[in-house]
Amino acid sequence: MYEGAIQDLVDELGRLPGIGPKSAQRLTFHLLAQEEDEVQSLINALQAVKRLVKTCEVCGNVTETEVCSICSDPRRDQGVICVVEAAQDIQALERTRVFRGRYHVLGGAIDPLSGIGPDQLRIRQLYSRLSDSGITEVILATNPTIEGEATATYIARLLAPLEVTVSRLASGLPVGGDLEYADEVTLGRALEGRRQV
């Protein structure tokens, strides 16, 4: 549609998730109208994130140091590990302020159709973390999707011989949700997981 540098930027932005051709065009013209230094600070942020951000040696979280701030925090419960698919999931769990243990990032979920098996995930690293320290519980907090459930089942079986409690996040009605609009699988899980009051 456009030519040269403008179309190149439209193409590059359109490759990002959730940004269609129209949004990419809108963003491009927004950036064209911006002052040089505002675009430069976006460029600097892009460069910095690739240069500085690493993977935590212990848990696989994103970090700018060798070991992330959660793993290196002595106030965190050293006995519990919460297993998540992605580093973003850690922030979601941290916001709850319910969990005070440490994390382990798998880097995805088992998905044979996309060629992702246990070996592509950080499952071996999880196993070795468990073998050499006083960890008593592993909470499997993979997504409640087919892939997430398969991953949780795989890890639960793998850890069964070890002396650790393995638990899974509860499935059920989201708080503030409406029974009438809940899908049947969620409502079925909510029934199965009912608790005495």
- Torsion of Cα atoms, 62 then 137 then 133 then 149, to 10°: -50
Q: What minimum distance in Å lies between the beta carbon of 197 and a copy of itself? A: 34
Dig out the tokens for 127 from the structure.
């196993």
In the bound state with a copy of itself, the residue whose beta carbon lies nearer, of 84 and 130, is: 84
Q: What minimum distance in Å lies between the beta carbon of 2 and a copy of itself? A: 7
Give the CA diameter of the chain: 66
Outline where 80-145 has alpha helix (H): 87-96, 123-131
Contact indicator for 108, 87 with CB cutoff of 8 Å: no
Q: Which residues bind a copy of itself (CB under 8 A)?
A: 1-6, 8-9, 11-13, 16-19, 23, 25-32, 36, 39, 41-43, 45-53, 62, 64, 69, 86-88, 91
CA angle 37, 43, 48 (to 5 degrees): 120
In the bound state with a copy of itself, the residue whose beta carbon lies nearer, of 161 and 174, is: 174
In the bound state with a copy of itself, the residue whose beta carbon lies nearer, of 6 and 187, is: 6
In the bound state with a copy of itself, the residue whose beta carbon lies nearer, of 48 and 162, is: 48
Q: What minimum distance in Å lies between the beta carbon of 14 and a copy of itself? A: 11
Q: What minimum distance in Å lies between the beta carbon of 7 and a copy of itself? A: 9
Q: Which helix (H) or strand (E) holds 135?
A: none
